[in-house]
Amino acid sequence: MSIQNFLSKVDALKDEYEKFERGNKAAGTRARKYLQEIKTIAHEMRAAIQAKKSEEQAS
């Protein structure tokens, strides 16, 4: 996963959330989908960062 992928999901979330705020209920569903994807990406990024830190400390 890359930071660019993460940021593109955040941008998509922003767009959908703004639509939801204006009353588009379907956009709320899409916003929740993007939030779940962001959560997954963040978890994978955290694990990768920790693995790299642990690898460097072991050296």
pTM of the predicted protein model: 0.87
Q: Domain limits of the chain? A: 3-51
Is the CB of residue 30 less than 8 Å from the CB of residue 1? no
**Is residue 38 within 8 Å of residue 48, measured between CB atoms?**
no
Give pLDDT, residue 1: 63
1: Cβ contacts below 8 Å, ≥ 6 apart: 41, 44, 45, 48
- Contacting residues for 46 by C-beta, under 8 A, at least 6 apart: none
1-55 tens-digit pLDDT: 689 999 999 999 999 999 999 999 999 999 999 999 999 999 999 999 999 999 9
User: Residue 58: which pLDDT band, with cuts at 50, 70 and 90?
Assistant: confident
Q: Is the CB of residue 13 less than 8 Å from the CB of residue 38?
A: yes
